[in-house]
Amino acid sequence: MHGKGGDVETVWWATGTARLLPRVIGDRTSGPLFLAARRPTRPMPAADVDPATGHARRSYRQAERIFAEAGRRLDPDGPPFTLHRLRHAGISHAVEDGHSVAAIRAKSRHASLRSLEIYTNPGADSIRAMTDALDATARRRRRPA
């Protein structure tokens, strides 16, 4: 994948995503990963168009709409599903699961630790577990006799 400034970056897919990718990619070996349903109606950069079909890269707005519609079907009364909310949840779960902030910053592709701070709000269970783990008296009581 090419990131900001054209830097080549590695994308680490989870197992479920990796299993679904062949359905999205098909036989394609180049071009954008997620394609719009039709050809573009205005000129597009060549990198944003699939050379085999002529279909353009799906826009973030299109992806957001599709994701929100799927979320409404899953939970019609819940808060709106957004791609940003999904990203926020994934990063928050990684923090609560005890992964290092440096590793989370790298995976989430945040440029600085400061921009990652808003995601690092662990829940009560996570804080309770940390408090128990750091409690010297409780550790002495937990030792096998």
pLDDT, tens digit, 9 for 90 and up, residues 18-54: 898 888 888 888 888 888 988 999 999 988 999 888 9
Confidence of residue 2 (pLDDT cuts 50, 70, 90): low
Most distant CA pair in the chain, distance: 75
Of residues 103 and 3, more confidently modeled: 103
User: Within 1-142, where are the H helices?
Assistant: 15-25, 60-74, 83-96, 101-108, 113-116, 124-134, 136-142
State the Cα–Cα distance between residues 78 and 131, nearest whole angstrom: 32
Same domain for 31 and 88: no
| pLDDT on residue 3 | 67
Q: What percent of the chain stands above pLDDT 90?
A: 11
The predicted pLDDT at position 56 comes to 92
Is 145 a residue whose pLDDT tops 60? no
If one counts the domains in the chain, the total is 2
Phi first, then psi, for residue 57 (nearest 5°) are -60, 140
Say if 5 falls within a structural domain.
Answer: yes
Give the C-alpha distances (Å, rounded to integers) separating 124 from 9, 80, 96, 131, 143: 35, 24, 10, 10, 25
Q: Tens of pLDDT along 76-87?
A: 998 888 888 888
- Per-residue model confidence (pLDDT) at position 25: 85
Please check whether residue 137 lies inside any domain of the structure: yes
Segment 127-144 mean pLDDT: 75
Rounded to the nearest integer, the mean pLDDT of the chain is: 83
**Domain membership of residue 124 as a residue range:** 80-145
The arithmetic mean of pLDDT across residues 69-93, rounded, is 86
- What span, in angstroms and rounded, lies between the C-alpha atoms of 116 and 59? 25
Domain match, 91 and 132 both: yes
**E-state strands within 4-123:** none
16 in the same domain as 52: yes
Does the reported pTM lie above 0.85?
Answer: no
